Amino acid sequence: MSEQTSLDTFRQAFAGFSDKTTSVYVPRPSVEVGGEKWRILRKNVIDAVEKHAPDAAFIKDRLESFELADFRANGIALFEDKENQRMAHLNARPVASITTGEHPFILPLLADYQSRKTHWVLFVTKSEPKLYLYQGGNVKDMTDRLDAPKYRSVEARRHVQDDVFFHSGSRGSARSSDGRSIHHALGTGQDEERDKTDLAFYEEIANAADAALPPQTKTLHLIGEEGTVGHFAKVMSSSRFEIVQHHAGGTNNVEQNIIDAFAEEPAVDGELPEGKSLPDLQDAAKAGQLDTLYLPLESAMLEEVHDQADEHVKFREFDHDSAEAEQNRTTMLALENGADISWYAAHDHDAVAEIRADLRW
């Protein structure tokens, strides 16, 4: 799927929402103490929704029934107006926030959706498959999201044994004339049985990966020994993912191998246009004058994935006059009128973190 097609899908998802939408972002707690952090955060979010958007029944209902195990990655986003409701999962951990009486607050979700520096990686091994999230040089073990079996459990279920069918030599209870039982080889051989077990194992891993990853995930990276990864990739060839293989054997230093695999990712090419004031860009966006809108990653309000992420969540409220709401309005207008969206890291360009645009005229 092309980047433009993905953006069109995103655009269509929010086309029906009004400028009276309630938007809520909830991060998954980075420290899980028997789910206690999540229960505290969930109550705080529900209280904020009841205070600022008491009619947002869809959002409240979803939050009240949402458990820690329901997170498919590191955060969720919920949107609701009188006619539309939507929930989405984020790969990255969003800043906890609420916006009411505005266009859908899409900046964190859009940045996560378009991220080129966030990758899901499946470590394929017969001992214990693992799932990782790579983001901007950091790797987080997300295997608790992967409801995958170990090879031995699949093997036990299939009752793998010698490929010999044991039965008596005649029908009924009669025995052969010499009273001996007769063994007939099925002819498949143990190698073929092992292949069948491998296939069953890989199919269960593939199903687990499909269930674990957010629906918007288009690419899945596989890492492991060449033969194992290659065989698994064949099983995944008809899945919803574009598969990218990385060959690095052994169970040691998996996280470093993942970092090394993405070390050569190219930086964003091209020169940035000059920045303009938001009112000017909003007028241009409303008129359909914007060809490409360049958004600084500093506006994405996504946290880096790392073990030291602060587990203490402060719930932010973005009112109508905030800079965040202004940036979001410009972005929504640009999307509605067919503009492309591109994210950039200001420090990579030695530039000021501000919205910029290429104009059609």
Residue with the two structure tokens 């607050």: 105
What ranges do the domains of the chain cover? 3-116+267-359, 118-261
pLDDT 10s digits, 317-328: 888 889 899 999
Q: What is the pLDDT of residue 135?
A: 80
Q: Residue 208's pLDDT is what?
A: 92
User: Cβ atoms within 10 A of the Cβ of 64, count?
Assistant: 10
Q: What is the DSSP letter of 85?
A: E
Which range has the top average pLDDT, 96-110, 125-139, 152-166, 243-257?
A: 96-110
Structure tokens at 132: 């990782």
Q: What percent of the chain has pLDDT over 70?
A: 81
Across the range 56-63, mean pLDDT stands at 97
CA within 13 Å, CB half, 55: 10
Q: What is the reported pLDDT for 218?
A: 85
Residue 162 pLDDT level (bands cut at 50, 70, 90) = very low
Decide which of 119 and 313 is more confident.
119
Residue 1's pLDDT is 44
CA distance 340 to 331: 10
Asked if residue 334 has pLDDT above 90, the reply is yes
Backbone angles phi, psi at 210, to 5 degrees: -60, -40
Residues 6+ apart with CB under 8 A from 180: 169
pLDDT tens digits along 274-300: 766 666 888 899 999 999 998 988 889
Count other Cβ atoms within 10 Å, centred on residue 90. 27
Residue 105: CB atoms within 10 A of its CB come to 28
pLDDT for the residue 4? 57
Give whole-number Cα distances, 113 to 106, 182, 214, 302, in Å.
Answer: 10, 63, 10, 12
Ranking 69-73, 105-109, 188-192, 347-351 by mean pLDDT, the lowest is 188-192
pLDDT of residue 88: 94
Please classify residue 80 by burial: count the beta carbons closer than 10 Å to its beta carbon, then call 0-12 exposed, 13-18 middle and 19+ buried.
buried
| Lowest-confidence region among 31-45, 111-125, 158-172 | 158-172
* Pick from 115, 255, 305, 211: nearest CA to 246: 255
Specify the pLDDT at position 276. Answer: 64
Q: Which amino acid is at 214?
A: P
Indicate if the pLDDT at residue 177 is higher than 50: no
Q: What local confidence, expressed as pLDDT, does residue 313 receive?
A: 63
Class of domain 118-261: alpha beta
More confident residue, 189 or 262: 262
Return the C-alpha torsion angle 30, 33, 37, 40, nearest 10: 170
Between residues 280 and 111, which one has the greater pLDDT?
Answer: 111
CA distance 242 to 299: 29
